Amino acid sequence: MLMPILQVNSEDIPEYAIVCGDPKRAAAIAAKLDEPRELAFSREYRSFVGTKDGVQIAVVSHGVGSPGAAVCFEELIRAGVKTLIRVGTAGSYSADHPAGSLIVSTAAVRTDGLTRQLVPETFPAVADSAVTEALYYAARQGEGAVSKGITVTLDVFFNGVEEFPHRKFKQAGALAVEMEISALYIIASLRGVRAGAIVAIDGYADADLAAEYDPHTTAVADAVHREMDAAIAAIVALAGQERA
């Protein structure tokens, strides 16, 4: 069956998928797989499939923001994906997590517009525990700092006249902010599949992003490569657990 927006055939989509915002990052992740094959490039959604240690993995970009990303997650699940891992970037809430460090997201604050139109506001956006543990273990095999904790999903990147909500979420224990994980966790829960996410810190959330945002430093690029490797290794480990 052809997925109308991703333009991929369900026959080509395996049970495991890595998703990320940037189509170029999707190509870089696919290049780490054996025999990668591009399936489609439709709108912001660039789709590949390849294998690692005999496990078939799809890699698909979802663009920026929860509504567009939700379309990607929904079509992948309809096509047969049972485990999704997001490999993203995020702004840090503290000097404990500087640019170049990694955070595995255990749950997401739902400061997005999409998920409140899917489930009640009291419903939590939580990662699958097995996926989270596999990601955290795999990430710690690489060099560099890795933490796990709550992340915030927000629709706003460049602020307007309203205050960002970062101060109160930091005080409550959140570690970083990005733009799609709550959608991933809520949709995974709704559709009965499992999901997890890892993000590379690319700066501080309370910086003036319009003036200072630079996700193209060597430290960030290295962290993105470490999180790509961690996601692939986590999927190979999860597939091994399922076979056992």
Ligand X SMILES: O=c1cc[nH]c(=O)[nH]1
Contact partner, 130, from ligand R1P, ligand X, none, Cβ < 5-8 Å per class = none
Backbone angles phi, psi at 183, to 5 degrees: -60, -40
Per the annotation, the verdict on 22 as an active-site residue is: no
Strands, DSSP E only, in 155-193? 176-178
Q: Quick one: 80 or 215, whose CB is closer to ligand R1P?
A: 215
Residue 44 interacts with ligand R1P (CB under 6 A): yes or no: no
Residue 209 interacts with ligand R1P (CB under 6 A): yes or no: no
Backbone angles phi, psi at 138, to 5 degrees: -65, -40
Q: Quick one: 34 or 214, whose CB is closer to ligand R1P?
A: 214
Contact partner, 64, from ligand R1P, ligand X, none, Cβ < 5-8 Å per class = ligand R1P
Contact partner, 22, from ligand R1P, ligand X, none, Cβ < 5-8 Å per class = ligand R1P
How far, in Å, CA of 239 to CA of 223, rounded?
24
> Residue 85 CB, nearest distance to ligand R1P (Å)?
12
How far, in Å, CA of 48 to CA of 73, rounded?
15
Q: Which amino acid is at 79?
A: A
Contact partner, 20, from ligand R1P, ligand X, none, Cβ < 5-8 Å per class = ligand R1P
Stretch that binds ligand X, among 28-36, 51-59, 88-96, 120-128 (CB under 6 A): 88-96
Q: Quick one: 127 or 205, whose CB is closer to ligand X?
A: 205
The residues in 190-229 that bind ligand X, with binding defined as CB under 6 A, are: 202-203, 205, 209
Helix, strand, coil % over all residues of the chain, rounded to 5 = 35, 30, 35
What crossing angle do the helices spanning 181-191 and 66-79 adopt, rounded to 10°?
Answer: 30
Residue 181 interacts with ligand X (CB under 6 A): yes or no: no
Q: Which of 202, 206, 214, 229 is catalytic?
A: 202
How far, in Å, CA of 26 to CA of 48, rounded?
8
Q: What is the DSSP letter of 2?
A: B
What crossing angle do the helices spanning 129-140 and 218-243 adopt, rounded to 10°?
Answer: 130
> Which residues participate in catalysis according to the annotation?
202
